[in-house]
Amino acid sequence: MEQEQQRPYFFFSYARRDFEAEDAFVNQFFNDLRDELGRLLGAAVRTEELAFRDTEQLRLGDDWAERLATMLGRSRTMIALYSPAYFASLYCGKEWTAFRGRVRRHHEDTGELVPALIPVLWEPVGSAELAAEVTRVQWVQPDMGEAYARHGLRALLRTARSEAYEQVVRVVAERVRDAAARRLGELPEFDLGAVRGYFPPPAAPEPAPSPGMVRLFIAAGCASEAAAEGGSDTGGWYGAKPWHWAPYYPPTRPSLAARAQQVITAAGHTTTLEEIGPGLGEKLDQAREDSQVSVLLVDPWVAGNGRYRAALSEYDDQNHPVTGVVVPIGSNDPDGEREAPWTGVRGVFRRNWLRRSDLEHLFRVRVSQESFDNDLTIMVTVAQNKLMDDNLDWGDDGGDAFGFGGDAFGFGDDGPDMPGLTIPAGPPGRPRPPGPRHGPAAARHRPDPAPNEPPGQRRGQDDAVPLRGDQDDDH
């Protein structure tokens, strides 16, 4: 195949300092990954079609920047070898930004998001020091192993942990194969030298954005209803109102709704709370329009009954990408009844039930008391990440927004301005919420209370249910 017509399966982006320091290891990974990919694809694909790497395929007399740009625009995927040296490299930043922009342009043109930018952790890096846009692309997944996630691929090679190393190579090769099969759109010619990359990051930190708003909606039983039905779950789980619901044993105060608000406010956000009812979909759409994310707290014992079924079924039939759902499991439900409510939950969430194990973490069922705080924090963070994608001003033609002809993604005089969040893998930190979408007026927008909203109380009181946060909060 002529060089000019090549569409390599992966472009190998790495830091020269890593190659010079550990050239044998960098070479080994490149060769092993190429060989494993060749094994997966079969003999019909020639070796020279599998990968592009500058040290192997730049010829005497080639304009190296032009050649790199051409291959960035044609390669089906890009392997980014993450390390401190990688994020200190100007040209690694240009390569990463250009390919990320290509993925975004394809998404804008086709509606298809192809995971063609594939990070590989060569050495551990501190996510707090990375550009926000970089932290949005996850570089660890469960099937890569704990040792890789903790120490990086270079450490596995240096310590001869062959089984763990081979597992990572296999997973990365499979990701390349799967992403390449979806055929990412090619990029027209561009000047790589003119690309202003996301890293190295600026020396001065950017100002922290305003706190975000998280709207909580609850569907739960009441003590009077439970008593009328003669159920065994009447003693302490429910109160006079749905937001008094305390599903974990022993029933504690504050209620689950108040506990959710404590978790969210501890992360630096403000909340509202109201009962789920007719018009839920419109409220979720309005929240998204106002740059707010939403979380539904759903009691599995009432999810399928007449009071909430219509609203929850309507939610399930619609697309609400910045809304999460939490369905707790009671810690002391009678053994014979522990499975009883889930038929109703599956019935009302027919579509979302299939997402209950997704890594996206926006639909969680059987949430235990021990995992509730962490699950909720991750859910809010994921929803805010998606909201930031939603809030990006991508321009009229899509070109500027994807990093090829404007300021938003790496060209021009101004730096990238894309606040982002990371998904905490362990105890959550303080995720940074998105800024206002429509200027100062929107920043202070507070939705009008619904007719069935509970009365507002201040934070810190027992069983308090703050509707809008403290009145002097800047949303």
Q: Are 190 and 99 in contact (CB under 8 A)?
A: no
The total of other beta-carbon atoms located within 10 Å of residue 308's CB is 25
How many whole angstroms separate alpha carbon 98 and alpha carbon 196?
A: 9
CA torsion through residues 333, 334, 339, 345, sign:
negative
Say whether 190 sits in a helix, a strand or coil. coil
- pLDDT 10s digits, 206-219: 443 456 889 999 99
What tokens appear for 168 in the block?
């990572």
Identify the top-confidence range among 211-215, 415-419, 449-453, 462-466: 211-215
- 334 versus 32: the higher-pLDDT residue is 32
CB atoms within 10 A of CB 303: 27
Q: pLDDT (tens digit, 9 = 90+) per residue, 76-85? A: 999 999 999 9
Burial class (CB in 10 A: 0-12, 13-18, 19+), 393: exposed
Section 411-416 average pLDDT: 39
Phi, psi (rounded to 5 degrees) for 158 = -70, -30
| Confidence class for position 122, pLDDT limits 50, 70, 90 | very high
- Residue 214 phi/psi, 5° resolution? -120, 120
The first and second tokens of residue 303, run together, are 């999810």
Q: Which helix (H) or strand (E) holds 167?
A: helix 162-180
The pTM for the full model equals 0.46
Query: For residue 397, with 0-12 CB atoms within 10 Å meaning exposed, 13-18 middle and 19 or more buried, which class applies?
Result: exposed
C-alpha distance from residue 150 to each of 173, 205, 332 (Å): 20, 26, 37
